[in-house]
Chain A
Amino acid sequence: MKTNSKAAFPYILWVLFFTVIPFILVIYYAMTSKDAGSVTLENLANASRYFPVLIRSVYLAVIATAICLVIAYPLAFTMSRCSKAMQRVILLLVMLPMWMNFLLRTYAWITILDNNGLINSFLVSLGLPKVQLINNSSAVILGMVYNYLPFMITPLYSIMTKIDKSVIEASQDLGCNSLQVITKTVLPLSFPGILTGITVTFVPAVSTFVISGLLGGSNCFLIGDLIQQQFLGNEYNLNYGAATSLMLMVVVFISMGIFNSFDNDEMEDSMI
């Protein structure tokens, strides 16, 4: 045990300086007033007035996460059943867009979806009317799915490669049809992967501001935009920004709590 705690020392320091202390600072700023620095709940009360923004962010993030899961799950399963060489190729293709800068990747969508963008100029050249593809919540969801899909695929893939082929064969031997193989064998075994995938997709999606800023137009103001404005915009109010981000943290914390309770259930189930 002793050697263990010694080895953990640098990590404890790291967590202390880069997680615990910043977190305390956020709480400190959220609870104090702008000029005098006296304790107040005004920032938090103010932040809660913009609950609609939070609701909208959660709603878009939930949809994006669900779509990511639906797309990523079959892909990850198929991938895990491919030959090793093929797996490497597909994984590379999945990760390839991530090598490019996040902002550029999102910016590229403007060129595609714009009123005079690639799709619309193609439609016009065919003599078809233009369609409104950008500056709405669908474009934001698209941006989220596109950017965070690899985050969903990778944990799913890594857990599915661990599902032994013989387990699937055993279930088939015991009379499962292909649907039952999925629901009774693959799904329960890959459950932790799903939870990780949802977590790492949902959290950045709910707090994004780049995507909504670039693709969302005037009706997609998200909680991330709100926070960004408080720190970098001309509103410049650290205390209020901290309160807003604290509110977001609480929401993320609660949703993670819900997800994790599933995880525990699952573990208990498998132990039984």
Chain B
Amino acid sequence: MKKIFAVFSLFTLLAISSSALKVEDESYYEAFRGKGIKLNVFNWGEYISDGSEGTMDVLEEFEKISGIEVVYNNYETNEDLYAKLSAGKGNTQYDIIIPSDYMISRMIRENMLEKINFDNIPNVSMLDDKYRYPDFDKTGEYSVPYTWGTVGIVYNTKYVDKEDTGSWDLLWNKKYAGNILMFSNSRDAYGIALKKLGYSLNSTNRDEIEDATELLKEQRSVNQAYVMDQTFDKMENESAYIAPYYAGDCLSMMENNENLAFYYPEEGFNIFIDSICIPKGAKHKEAAEAFINFLCETEVAVANCEYICYFTPHTEAAKVLEFDERIYPTEEQLLKAESYVALPDSINSIYDSSWIEVRSSLDISELVIVGIILGLALTVLIVLTIHRRMKKGKINY
């Protein structure tokens, strides 16, 4: 999941002290005032600057400038969001959602998103075209990029030799058996295995998936645990030495433990983009577009990016922000990055069942012990039953 930490920069402090927020065109937002609109925003937890610890309260600023009341709710996973939206089919209560790449392409495919009217979002011109027209929304009609991030490897320099780093091979290195972590979510785990093999992380080729499955099974023998959020604890207190994770989150681990370092594996890695969308049947589409435009204001984008600590697709904001070069990918590295797209259901189910196979297969030795114990338990039960029946029989005679 996306855990966030707050960083302060002189810029935000200045922005707040110099009173009112500077926007491109104030009259655009003014037009909504007095209409009593309630905008329903559905977002990840801690995924918008909320005014805590001196940051900008984006929602409050929006309410102030436009008079639109914002009702804010959280979801935990893309699937959670998908389930809630598909339950309300076409009659959703939400006006704004911020799903990730592969979920957006799935929602486009299933006709769950409104086309956005970009005449109402002049600020979109400040976004980098690279993220405006991504693989999952090639025409850029349904989504406006909000943040992007990458996956790399965080490792502990105290235990891991520098010469072992550089590629995904580190996660398979027997030297560090028992101290390596792996994603517990299948898509990210398969992404790594497929990249290591030199395939696309959106592979739909059964043989390639089979290869990746074998590789992941092999990884299990050196793996300590399949985790998501626990990565933070385990890496920071050094109970694990190597873990793949999201770059922004790795930086927060590095700030808590100075022995940690980060790199992008040379075979390529996943780049994810979370974009703002309007679900089909949204009640206040124009207000939603005003909100999207507001999120694309430079100052707002800067505040959000500093709060969330992922990278921003906003070119003006990126100029203001200084990204930590330890985790910021170079142009050259970005060429090897690949984002997820939604796969056909038939392929998804292959991934899912293969993943369970990776997670669940029993060793021979384990099988023997299990067999003995369960056999014993069963024998005890049978003996007891027979014993009782015989006893009863005796009395009856």
Binding site for B on A (CB under 8 A): 34-35, 46, 49-50, 52-53, 55-56, 58-59, 62-63, 66, 110, 114-117, 132, 135, 214, 216-219, 221, 225-226, 229, 232-237, 240, 258, 261-262, 265, 268-269, 272
Return the 5 tightest CB-CB contacts between A and B, nearest first: A218-B223, A236-B79, A221-B359, A53-B360, A235-B352
| Residue contact B373 to A59, C-beta cutoff 8 Å | yes
A221–B217 Cα distance when bound, in Å, is 13
Cβ–Cβ contact B360 & A218, under 8 A? no
The reply to whether B224 and A218 form a contact with Cβ atoms under 8 Å apart is yes
| B329 contacts chain A at the CB level, 8 A cutoff | no
0/1 per residue, B360-397, Cβ < 8 Å to A?
11110011001001100100010011001101100100
Q: Identify which of B233, B345, B359, B384 contacts A262 (C-beta below 8 A).
A: B384
Cα A170 to Cα B179 with chains together (Å): 61
Rounded to whole angstroms, the CA-CA distance of A35 and B178 in the bound complex is 40
Q: How distant is A227 from chain B, measured CB to nearest CB, in Å?
A: 11
- Whether A237 contacts B392 by the Cβ 8 Å rule is no
Q: B239–A116 contact, CB under 8 A?
A: yes
Please give me the residue from chain A that is nearest to B182 by CB atom: A218
Closest to A59 in B: B370
Cβ contact within 8 Å between B362 and A52: yes
The answer, yes or no, to whether B259 is at the interface (CB within 8 Å) is no
Query: Are B384 and A272 in contact, with the CB atoms below 8 A?
Result: no
Complex CA–CA separation, A14 to B361 (angstroms): 40
Q: Is the CB of B381 within 8 A of A50?
A: no
Complex Cα distance, B385 from A56, in Å, reads 25
Complex alpha-carbon distance, A114 and B187, angstroms: 28
A-B contact count (CB 8 A): 101
Tell me if B's interface is mostly helix, strand, loop or mixed: helix
Residues of B within 8 A of A114 (CB): 237, 239
Rounded to whole Å, the gap between the CB of B182 and the closest CB of chain A is: 7
Q: Which has the most chain A C-beta neighbours within 10 Å: B184, B389, B392?
A: B184
Partner pick for A117 among B83, B182, B230, B239, CB 8 A cutoff: B239
Cβ of B82 within 8 Å of any chain A Cβ, yes or no, is yes
Q: Name B224's contact: one of A135, A225, A232 (CB within 8 Å).
A: A135
Interface pairs (14), CB distance under 8 Å:
A53-B360, A56-B366, A114-B239, A115-B239, A116-B239, A218-B223, A218-B224, A229-B356, A232-B80, A235-B355, A236-B83, A237-B349, A262-B385, A265-B389
Contact present for B374 and A135 (CB under 8 Å): no
Q: Report if A50-B356 is in contact (Cβ < 8 Å); known contacts: A116-B238, A135-B224, A218-B224.
A: yes
In the assembled complex, the Cα of A235 lies from the Cα of B391 at a distance in Å of: 52
Interface size on B, residues (CB 8 A): 48
Partner of B226, one of A50, A53, A218: A218
Task: Tell me if B12 counts as interface (CB < 8 A to partner A).
Answer: no
Q: Which residue of B lies closest to A217 (CB)?
A: B225
B315 at the A/B interface (Cβ < 8 Å)? no
Question: How far does the Cβ of B112 sit from chain A's closest Cβ, in whole Å?
Answer: 15
For the complex, is B220 an interface residue (Cβ under 8 Å from A)?
yes
CA distance A227 to B230 in the complex (A): 20
Interface residue B203 (Cβ < 8 Å from any Cβ of A): no
Cα(A221)–Cα(B230), bound, Å = 16
Q: Do B352 and A269 have beta carbons less than 8 Å apart?
A: no
**What is the CA–CA distance of A236 and B345 in the complex, to the nearest angstrom?**
11
Q: Interface majority SS on A: helix, strand, loop or mixed? A: helix
- Expressed in whole angstroms, the Cα–Cα distance for A218 and B189 within the complex equals 13
Report the separation of the CA atoms of residues A268 and B389 in the bound assembly, to the nearest whole angstrom. Answer: 11
Among B179, B187, B237, B345, find the residue whose CB has the most chain A CB atoms closer than 10 A: B237
Partner of A226, one of B187, B223, B360, B381: B360
Q: Does B125 contact A (CB under 8 A)?
A: no
A236 to chain B: which residues have CB within 8 Å?
79, 82-83
Q: Which residues of B have CB within 8 Å of A218?
A: 182, 220, 223-226, 359
Residues of A with C-beta under 8 A to B377: 62, 66
B186 contacts partner chain A, Cβ-Cβ < 8 Å = yes
Q: A59-B370, A258-B381 are in contact. List 7 more A-B contacts (CB 8 A).
A: A52-B360, A52-B362, A56-B362, A219-B366, A233-B79, A236-B79, A236-B83
With a cutoff of 8 Å between Cβ atoms, the chain A residues found around residue B73 in the complex are none
A234→B77 contact, CB < 8 A: yes
A258 to B392 CA separation, bound complex (whole angstroms): 18
Determine whether the beta carbon of A35 is less than 8 Å from that of B345.
yes
Given contacts A58-B374, A265-B392, A234 and B185 within 8 Å (CB-CB): yes
Residue of B nearest to A272 (CB): B395
Residue B157 lies at the interface, judged by CB distance under 8 Å to chain A: no
* A62 touching B373 in the complex, CB below 8 Å, given contacts A52-B360, A218-B225: yes
Partner of A234, one of B78, B230, B237: B78
B353 interface contact, C-beta 8 A: yes
Of all chain A residues, the one with the shortest Cβ separation from B225 is A217
Query: Which residues, 334 to 366 on B, are CB-close (under 8 Å) to A?
Result: 345, 349, 352-353, 355-356, 359-363, 366
Residues of B49-84 contacting chain A, CB below 8 A: 77-80, 82-83
Partner of A272, one of B233, B353, B356, B392: B392
By a CB distance below 8 angstroms, the chain A residues around B223 are 217-218
Inter-subunit contact A219/B220 (CB<8 Å): yes
Bound state CA distance, A63 and B376, in angstroms?
11
For the complex formed, measure the closest distance between the CB of A123 and the CB atoms of chain B, giving whole angstroms. Answer: 14
CB distance from B227 to the nearest CB of A (A): 9
Known A-B contacts A62-B374, A114-B237, A237-B352; the reply to A232 vs B362 at CB < 8 A is no
| A59-B374 contact in complex given A52-B360, A116-B238, C-beta closer than 8 Å | yes
Is the beta-carbon distance between A234 and B225 smaller than 8 angstroms?
no
Instruction: State the CA gap A135–B361 with chains docked (Å).
Output: 16
Taking CB as reference atom, which chain A residue is nearest B227? A213
Within 8 Å CB of B381, what residues of A? 258
